[in-house]
């Protein structure tokens, strides 16, 4: 249920961004920079991290809307369960394990992150850019999970999946921002 007085009832994220397009544009450009600019992490790996953190935060809308993006970028859909990712699946690259462990710790117990957590990422062959990108992904996902839950985006998993499938793998974050910019101009 939406907590926005002007939008009672069920609201999805596109509705919120349409209502507040300037903020939506800023947020989408930030997410696009973190999730789609050049990185040692593939788009699929970044979407997997986004989905994983959303599950940790019990953010149903973000979890279910990022599953189709992750699968569109090559992540096997069989690893996704109900608000969880099976990290022990052979379909999850073992090289991602220290990244996902770090993301979990930074999300749930950020003051307990240690140099050893970061060294485990480097030990798997990831470079500093990959590590920095993981930190940025963690930041933006935690921000978005709190944003979505804070304004009361409450959409069933199937609707969230459809929203994610129709936006993220098709027009992407930058296309969504461009559509909002067009609506502001008219």
10 part of a folded domain = no
125 part of a folded domain = no
pLDDT at 65: 92
User: pTM score, two decimals?
Assistant: 0.94
Range of the domain at 86: 17-93+138-171
Q: What's the total number of domains in the chain? A: 1
154 part of a folded domain = yes
56 part of a folded domain = yes
130 part of a folded domain = no
47 part of a folded domain = yes
Q: Answer yes or no: are the C-beta atoms of 24 and 16 closer than 8 Å.
A: yes
At 53-109, the pLDDT tens digits run 999 999 999 999 999 999 999 999 899 988 888 777 788 899 999 999 999 999 999
87 part of a folded domain = yes
Max mean pLDDT range (93-97, 122-126, 152-156): 122-126
85 part of a folded domain = yes
Q: What are phi and psi of 98, to 5 degrees?
A: -65, -30
pLDDT at 169: 86
pLDDT: which is higher, 99 or 164: 99
Q: How far apart are CA 92 and CA 82, in angstroms?
A: 17
């Amino acid at each position: 249920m939406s907590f926005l007085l002007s939008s009672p009832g069920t609201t999805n994220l596109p509705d919120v961004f349409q209502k507040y397009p300037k903020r939506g544009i800023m947020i989408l450009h930030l997410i696009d920079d973190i999730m789609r600019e050049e990185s040692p992490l593939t788009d699929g790996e970044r979407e997997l991290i986004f989905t994983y953190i959303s599950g940790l935060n019990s953010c149903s809308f973000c979890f279910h809307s990022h599953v189709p993006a992750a699968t569109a970028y090559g992540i096997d859909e069989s690893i996704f369960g109900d608000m969880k990712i099976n990290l022990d699946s052979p379909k999850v690259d073992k090289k991602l394990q220290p990244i996902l462990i770090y993301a979990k710790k930074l999300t749930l117990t950020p003051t307990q992150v240690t140099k050893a957590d970061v060294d485990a990422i480097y030990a798997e062959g990831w470079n500093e850019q990959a590590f920095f990108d993981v930190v940025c992904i963690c930041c933006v996902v935690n921000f978005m999970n709190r944003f979505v839950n804070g304004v009361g985006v409450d959409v069933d998993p199937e609707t969230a999946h459809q929203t994610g499938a129709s936006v993220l793998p098709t027009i992407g974050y930058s296309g969504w921002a461009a559509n909002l910019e067009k609506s502001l101009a008219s």
